[in-house]
């Protein structure tokens, strides 16, 4: 993809999604700066790109570093966050300092450094348990965790910066992102990373509830593509867009698919529904199609295959 901008800052660039974005930007010839405090990101995610980008090992709240990192950038992709919902429940104040105040600082640095556009990574968590499907951007937000409140607050700041200061912004509400490099080691890791690691260890998955709950899974390369389009599309400015596949997959079906790929037949162990677990989640994707001309290129079946291959090669022994 040929990009119409030269220099970009990726906050959270050493994380799962951020590192894939950095890779795409570097291979498109972009000058990339990463700012990451490595609290949940991992330098190993960028090892293969060593020497091809500038790196600030800093927190987004370190104003001096943030301003230096944003200097002369055309675009800021803001992905740095406390990404675990349960962590924000345990420690809402610390998480808000990063997810809310940190986001405000990123926007302000972008404004002062005259960055042209900021692309903010938000979450479908802001829809809460609204049972209506698909979830679309016109729905009234129903945040149910500090994480969702914090993402929503940052979305509002983003929109205020667009309206007050004329800085171009785009907000992407990710659904369930998966792919290579997603860390399976915590109980709150993405279900696909956990199930794949379990299957490779020949262990049964634990399914919370009856397994009929659905999720809209989106492959990380498609999320990267959405970011690149959001950084450049004329109509995206000032907009909020869902980034999902538009298709729901039940957790039981997910486990069966992974078992089939591993060549094993393992019955899952069912346990209590997770508190606050939503039942159905499917993204309405018309707005991203209309404004970004975005569509998922990687089907669920293909993405699962690619991801499984990666976990097979990078097998881990710890799993959530
Ligand atoms: C995801 C996001 C979260 C976001 C939320 C918005 C991830 C890792 N988390 O949470 O940041 O706020 O969407 O709605 O993408 N499950 C099992 N067994 C397991 C692990 C999970 O049955 O071992 C089930 C869960 O109960 C859930 C589903 O799989 O029903 C998906 O779980 P998970 O990957 O943790 O994502 P969400 O809870 O959807």
Residue 256: CB atoms within 10 A of its CB come to: 15
Distance CA 209, CA 247 (A): 21
| Atom 35 (ligand 1) nearest CA | 190
Q: Does domain 191-214+247-288+298-319 have CATH number 3.90.25.10?
A: yes
Atom number, ligand 1, closest to the C-alpha of residue 178: 15
d(CA 250, CA 252): 5
CB 220 within 8 A of CB 24: no
Per-residue pLDDT tens over the stretch 39-83: 999 999 999 999 999 999 999 999 999 999 999 999 999 999 999
pLDDT at 276: 73
Q: Where are the domains of the chain?
A: 7-175+219-244, 191-214+247-288+298-319
Ligand 1 pocket: which of 185, 215, 307 to mutate (most atoms within 8 A of CB): 215
Quick check: 193 and 177 in contact, CB under 8 A? no
Atom of ligand 1 nearest to the CA of 195: 23
Start-to-end Cα distance in the chain: 36
Determine the pLDDT at residue 320: 60
7-175+219-244: CATH topology: Rossmann fold (3.40.50)
What are 173-208's pLDDT values in tens digits? 999 999 999 999 877 789 999 999 999 999 999 999
Widest CA span in the chain: 57
Q: Is 293 exposed, middle or buried (0-12, 13-18, 19+ CB in 10 A)?
A: exposed
Q: Flag residues of the chain having pLDDT under 50.
A: none
- Helix 220-232 vs helix 16-27: crossing angle, to nearest 10: 60
Task: Report the pLDDT value the prediction gives residue 278, as an integer from 0 to 100.
Answer: 85
Mutation pick for ligand 1 pocket among 191, 206, 268 (CB with most ligand atoms within 8 Å) = 191
The whole-number pLDDT of residue 172 equals 98
Q: Which residues are catalytic?
A: 147
With contact defined as beta carbons under 8 Å apart, do 190 and 254 qualify?
no
Mapped onto helix, strand or coil, the DSSP state of residue 105 is helix
């Amino acid at each position: 993809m040929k990009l119409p901008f030269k220099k970009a800052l990726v906050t959270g660039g050493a994380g799962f999604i951020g590192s894939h974005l950095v890779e795409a930007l570097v291979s498109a010839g972009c000058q990339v700066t990463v700012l990451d405090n490595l609290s949940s990101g991992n330098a190993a995610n960028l090892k293969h790109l060593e020497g091809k980008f500038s790196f600030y090992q800093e927190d987004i709240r370190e104003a001096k570093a943030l301003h230096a990192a944003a200097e002369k950038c055309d675009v800021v992709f803001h992905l740095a966050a406390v990404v675990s919902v349960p962590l924000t429940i345990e420690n809402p104040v610390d998480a808000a300092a990063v997810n809310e105040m940190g986001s405000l600082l990123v926007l302000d640095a972008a404004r002062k450094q005259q960055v042209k556009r900021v692309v903010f990574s938000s979450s479908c968590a802001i829809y809460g348990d609204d049972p209506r499907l698909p979830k679309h951007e016109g729905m009234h937000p129903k945040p149910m965790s500090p994480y969702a409140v914090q993402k929503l607050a940052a979305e509002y700041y983003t929109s205020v910066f667009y309206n007050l200061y004329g800085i171009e912004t785009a907000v992407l509400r990710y659904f369930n992102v998966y792919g290579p490099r997603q860390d399976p080691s915590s109980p709150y890791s993405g279900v696909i990373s956990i199930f794949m690691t379990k299957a490779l260890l020949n262990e049964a998955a634990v399914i919370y509830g009856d397994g009929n709950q659905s999720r809209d899974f989106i492959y990380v390369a498609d999320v990267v593509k959405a970011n690149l389009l959001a950084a450049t599309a004329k109509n995206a400015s000032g907009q909020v867009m869902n980034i999902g596949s538009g298709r729901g997959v039940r957790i039981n079906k997910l486990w069966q698919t992974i078992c089939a790929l591993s060549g094993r037949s393992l019955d899952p162990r069912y346990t209590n529904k997770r508190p606050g677990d939503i039942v159905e989640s499917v993204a309405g994707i018309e707005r991203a199609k209309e404004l970004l001309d975005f569509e998922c290129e990687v089907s669920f079946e293909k993405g699962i295959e690619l991801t499984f291959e990666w976990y097979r090669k990078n097998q881990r022994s710890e799993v959530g």
